[in-house]
Structure 1
Amino acid sequence: MLQSLTGVEKHNIEKKQAKALFESTLWSDAQTIGVTISRGFEWDTKHIIESGWEQGKQMVVPKCNPEEKSMQFYRLNDFQQLETVYFGLQEPKPSATEAVSPDQIDLLLVPGLLFNTNGYRLGFGGGYYDRFLANFKGNTIMVASQQQKCESIPVEAFDRPVQYVLTEEGMKQSK
Structure 2
Amino acid sequence: MRKIDIRPLKQKLRGEIKEWRKSLPAESKGQADRRILDRLRSLREYEGCETVLAYVSLPIEVDTLNLIQAAWQDGKKVAAPRCVPGTRDMEFFLISSFEQLEPQTFGVMEPVPHKCKKLVQFHNSICIVPALAYDRQGYRLGYGAGYYDRFLSGYPGEKIGIVYQENMRQHLWHGKYDVQVDLIITEKRLWSIKRQH
What TM-score results when the alignment is normalised by the length of structure 1?
Answer: 0.96
Partner residue, 2:94: 75
CA RMSD of aligned residues (A): 1.2
Contact preservation (8 Å) 2:55, 2:64? yes
Task: Describe how 1:152-167 pairs up with structure 2 within 5 A.
Answer: 152-167=171-186
Q: Between Structure 1 and Structure 2, how many residues are aligned?
A: 175
Against the structure 1 CA distance between its residues 74 and 155, is the aligned structure 2 distance closer, same or farther, given a 3 Å change threshold?
Answer: same
2:159 aligned partner, one-letter code: T
Contact preservation (8 Å) 2:83, 2:105? no
Q: CA deviation at 1:86?
A: 3.1
Contact preservation (8 Å) 1:71, 1:128? yes
Partner residue, 2:67: 48
142, 156, 165: which is aligned to 1:123? 142
Secondary structure class of the residue paired with 1:74: strand
**1:171 lines up with 2:190 in the alignment:** yes
Taking only the aligned residue pairs, the percentage that are identical comes to 29
**1:135 lines up with 2:154 in the alignment:** yes
110, 130, 141: which is aligned to 1:91? 110
In the aligned structure 2, how far is the partner of 1:143 from the partner of 1:26?
A: 14
Higher CA-based Rg: 2
Partner residue, 1:111: 130
The structure showing larger relative contact order (alpha-carbon pairs under 8 Å, at least 6 residues apart) is: 1
Partner residue, 1:5: 24
**1:37 lines up with 2:46 in the alignment:** no
Q: CA deviation at 1:153?
A: 1.4
In the aligned structure 2, how far is the partner of 1:89 from the partner of 1:105?
A: 26
Which runs of no fewer than 5 residues in structure 2 stay unpaired? Answer: 1-19
In the aligned structure 2, how far is the partner of 1:113 from the partner of 1:121?
A: 7
Q: CA deviation at 1:26?
A: 1.1
Contact preservation (8 Å) 2:94, 2:118? yes
In the aligned structure 2, how far is the partner of 1:120 from the partner of 1:26?
A: 20
Which runs of no fewer than 5 residues in structure 1 stay unpaired? Answer: none
